[in-house]
Amino acid sequence: MQDASLVLSDSQEFAATADSETVIDLGAGWAPEPDAAMRLRANVEAVTTGGGETYSLDVQESADGITYTSTGLVLALTAAGLLTKLFSSTKRYVKLVLTLSSVGTEALTLSAWLDAR
């Protein structure tokens, strides 16, 4: 069972490039130990394709909740299934950005959350 405060997307449908439903606030004074990692679990529940499109999921971080940069974890989403990846964030806020290479009849449904390693 995942902690509701660590859920980024809950069966969120993406039909165009968009951010996760939720931005996670890791708290004031967030200062992880060197090499500390968090685990992202991304469950692609459904993929509807029109043909030829690609989906990428970028884990982003921010110190102020306004300006975001990539943590370096970018995943190609190609089919339904659960992906688990470790990443580190040195900033307070974490969100996901799902990018679709084209817009048309395609869509992707995603649930994603963070949990302890």
Predicted pLDDT of residue 110: 93
Specify the CATH number for the domain of residue 89.
Answer: 2.60.120.1110
**pTM greater than 0.75:** yes
Please name the residues in contact with 40: beta carbons below 8 A apart, sequence gap of 6 or more: 59, 73, 83, 84, 85, 86, 87, 112, 113, 114
Say which residue the tokens 């090499």 belong to.
Answer: 35
Q: Number of folded domains in the chain?
A: 1
Contact call for residues 109 and 46 (beta carbons, < 8 A): yes
Specify if 1 maps to a domain. Answer: no
Specify if 48 maps to a domain. Answer: yes
* Residues of the chain scoring pLDDT < 50: none
Q: Which domain holds residue 29?
A: 6-115
Q: What is the pLDDT of residues 27-53, one digit of tens each?
A: 887 766 666 788 999 999 988 766 667
> In degrees, to the nearest 5, what angle opens at C-alpha 67 toward C-alphas 86 and 28?
65
